[in-house]
Amino acid sequence: MAEMWITMGPQHPMTHGLWTLRVKVDGETVVDTEPELGYIHRGVEKICEARDFTQITPYCDRLCYVSAMTWAHSYIYSAENLLEVEVPERAEYIRLIATEIQRVTSHLMWLGAYSPDIGNLTIFTWCLRDREMFIDLMQELGGSRLHYNFPRVGGVKRDLPVGFAQRCRAKIALFLGRLKEYEMLLDESTVFLVRTQGVGLASAEAMVNAGVTGPNLRAAGVNYDVRWAHPYSVYDELDWMPSVEKPSSVKGADCYDRYRVRMEEMVIACEMVLEALEKIPGGADSHYSPGDAMIQSKAPLRAPAGSSGFHHYEDCRGESMFYLQGGGEGRGKHPYRVSIRSPMFITIPFVAKTMIGYKIADIPAIMGSFDPCIGETDR
Amino acid sequence: MGMKISSQVNVAAAEVAVEAINARFSSAGVEATSAQHASGHKRTYVSITCPPAHWLALAKWMRFDGGVNHCSMITGVHHPDGGPDKGWEVIAHLMRIPVVDQKPGKALVHDAAKLSGKDVPMEYEVMLTLPQTDDPIVPSVQSIWVGADWNEKETWDLVGINFEGHEYMMRVLNPHDSPQGFHPLQKQHHLRYHGHNEMYDDAQGFMRLPVDVDKVK
């Protein structure tokens, strides 16, 4: 049969954002693919060169509207390496709580967006319902619903509000029960299983070579996680193991494995939050005013010329990273260069090639299972 | 208690990596040192300066003998005021990740406290400095790490550093019909912001002053 190119996107339910996947098909079979990105490139790296270190945080929030908290923290840890700032332990615990709650909401948004792709609309409404509980919690911390501007160089903007711990525990208890309902609905749905199992196989070594990390890598049977491999925050003080899934084929993990690993990761994130609320220095029920030495330390505003700082960070979609160069006196308080590693920018070309050999109908199932987010991809 | 790699193991692994690279490449002008992150856990990583001419050889050796299997980021910096010897920088961030393909139904669950040798995760920073030139170019490592491919595309697209031997170089973030020679992260393109950075970055990027110049604070 004659081969032809089909353009999926920029407006297409499969894309979960704004980008184009050009697909070469032979009948129903995908023969070649080519992603086209850049539709929502905002030039964040350039903009950041004209902002001081505190002003950059809101831009990092907006890199990914699904996972603003983790992106802001990813930047903040790099900035602290650049500016040589020590963070109070209580602030580190608050950051951990905030980012792990964000991880749950991000995975819920993924599940909510993924399941309609493969024919299950109910889960979409359930996920958004439960995500709202956690978004409310983060709103208590940051003040706004999706873009929190919460971390500061040297600490956090505000302490946990009074009653936060109680509400958090109650919501997590409710959510962990509901998560079992999700599993009952999906793991026993023939449509879901048929569309995800044995589809989109990707092996661990190939993924690492291509730069794919995070839950997608852990689904292929390796428990590699930046949170323990290059530790930051207080993850080493909590009792946890990253979720890991046993791959279901010699060729690696399929879409179902990637779904399982994220479901498990939500449980682990919730457990980490609960443990952190127990262990937080000063107690989860006390509240320190903004700027208190318990939650924020003083940070310099300028970085010397020629200095640099970087930090590998475990984002919800893989390893994110900021590379910063200090501007020195001549450039005021601005960094000289801000460079952002987006996990999805690297993953999307890999996934596009993973689709080769499968059917057109498998494209949404494969693409969605890697959790694309175009905001961070295009920056 | 949870997953923890002790700092002794981290420092020792970095030193082994540094010695191996220096033993193999110091005659070529490559210099590896252990460096430390400045805040947080103050982990040690391997910092390498490499003459661009030897970058490909070093990358090959790191990938196939040093176990550095993950290319995290390749990025570039423009230094128009850096003096004759430093006009451009290319910085590669690489990682060694303990990964083996798994058989169906099996998983590799590392215990962080028991990792040793090349299984200890390690960060690498490789810095290549180029002199002042209108046509900066370094060897491409696309053939060594698949993950370097789109990083190099992005670096060329945004910063304008070329990668010799890169197949299928193209615009990835800027529009495909951007003018030839337009790379927005080069420092001659300025941003206007409260009077700090003089000029508005016009859509074509060719030094056209905005109509409201001098009027905007």
Condensed to tens digits (0 to 9), the pLDDT of residues B99-142 reads: 888 888 888 888 878 888 888 999 999 999 999 998 999 999 99
Question: Which of B7, B39, B49 best tests the A interface by mutation, with the highest count of A CBs <10 A?
Answer: B39
Enumerate the residues of chain B whose CB falls inside 8 A of the CB of residue A239: 1-2
pLDDT tens digit sequence for B193-213: 444 444 444 444 445 555 555
Copy the structure tokens of residue B162: 């070329």
The torsion angles phi and psi of A105, rounded to 5 degrees, stand at -65, -35
* B169 contact A CB<8A: no
Rounded to whole angstroms, how far apart are CA atoms A325 and A319?
Answer: 20
* B5 contact A CB<8A: yes
**Per-residue confidence (pLDDT) for residue B194, from 0 to 100:** 44
- Please report how many Cα atoms fall inside a 13 Å half-sphere around the Cα of residue A110, on the Cβ side: 30
* B150 contact A CB<8A: yes
Enumerate the residues of chain B whose CB falls inside 8 A of the CB of residue A50: 191-193, 196-197
**Per-residue confidence (pLDDT) for residue B199, from 0 to 100:** 41
**Per-residue confidence (pLDDT) for residue A331, from 0 to 100:** 63
Give per-10-residue mean pLDDT for chain A (379 aa): 86 85 92 92 87 88 91 93 91 94 94 89 92 93 90 91 93 94 90 90 91 92 90 89 88 91 94 94 88 88 84 92 80 82 93 92 91 90
CB contact under 8 A, A50 and B104: no
> Minimal CA–CA distance to A352: which of A63, A15, A28?
A15
**Per-residue confidence (pLDDT) for residue A252, from 0 to 100:** 87
What was the ipTM of the complex prediction? 0.89
CB contact under 8 A, B105 and A248: yes
**Per-residue confidence (pLDDT) for residue B118, from 0 to 100:** 84
Enumerate the residues of chain B whose CB falls inside 8 A of the CB of residue A309: 37-38
CB contact under 8 A, B71 and A241: no
- For chain B, the maximum distance between any two Cα atoms, rounded to a whole number of angstroms, is 67
Rounded to whole angstroms, how far apart are CA atoms A21 and A161?
Answer: 45
Enumerate the residues of chain B whose CB falls inside 8 A of the CB of residue A221: 102, 106-108
Enumerate the residues of chain A whose CB falls inside 8 A of the CB of residue B123: 230, 312
Strands (E), A18-103: 20-26, 29-36
Residue among A82, A83, A250 whose CB faces B104 most closely: A250
C-beta of residue A246 within 8 angstroms of C-beta of residue B102:
yes
Copy the structure tokens of residue A145: 């619903």
Rounded to whole angstroms, how far apart are CA atoms A370 and A216?
Answer: 6
| Letter string b/e over residues A218-239, b meaning 16 or more CB atoms within 10 A of that residue's CB | bbbbbbbbbbbbbbbbbbbbbe
**Per-residue confidence (pLDDT) for residue A180, from 0 to 100:** 92
CB contact under 8 A, A246 and B93: no
Phi-psi domain of A175 (left: phi exceeds 0; alpha: psi -120 through 50; beta: other): alpha
**Residue A183 distance to chain B (closest CA, Å):** 20
**Residue A62 distance to chain B (closest CA, Å):** 17
The 10 Å Cβ neighbour count of residue A297 is 16
The torsion angles phi and psi of A215, rounded to 5 degrees, stand at -55, -35
B 49-88 → A contacts, CB under 8 A:
69-73, 75, 77
**Per-residue confidence (pLDDT) for residue A75, from 0 to 100:** 94
Q: Does residue B82 carry a pLDDT above 90?
A: no
CB contact under 8 A, A244 and B109: yes
If DSSP codes are grouped into helix, strand and coil, which group holds residue A185?
Answer: helix
Cis link prior to A343 (omega < 30° from 0)?
A: no
Rounded to whole angstroms, how far apart are CA atoms A61 and B136?
Answer: 33
- Please report how many Cα atoms fall inside a 13 Å half-sphere around the Cα of residue B44, on the Cβ side: 18
Copy the structure tokens of residue A288: 């320190």
Q: What is the 3-state secondary structure (H, E, C) of B38-107?
A: CCCCCCEEEEEECCHHHHHHHHHHHHHCCCCCEEEEEEEEECCCCCCCCCEEEEEEEEECCCCCCCCCCC
**Per-residue confidence (pLDDT) for residue A330, from 0 to 100:** 61
Q: Which helix (H) or strand (E) holds B137?
A: strand B137-139
Strand order of the β-sheet with A29-36 is A3-8, A20-26, A29-36
Copy the structure tokens of residue B140: 């491409």
Angle at CA A211, nearest 5°, toward A74 and A254? Answer: 105
Q: Which runs of consecutive H residues, i.e. helices, occur in A299-379?
A: 343-354, 362-369, 374-378
pLDDT tens digit sequence for B26-77: 888 899 999 999 888 889 999 999 999 999 999 999 999 888 999 999 999 9
Domain topology for A42-343: Cytochrome-c3 Hydrogenase; chain B (1.10.645)
Copy the structure tokens of residue A249: 């084929």
Rounded to whole angstroms, how far apart are CA atoms A330 and A348?
Answer: 39
**Residue A135 distance to chain B (closest CA, Å):** 28
Task: Give me the mean pLDDT over the B136-165 stretch.
Answer: 93
**Per-residue confidence (pLDDT) for residue B200, from 0 to 100:** 42
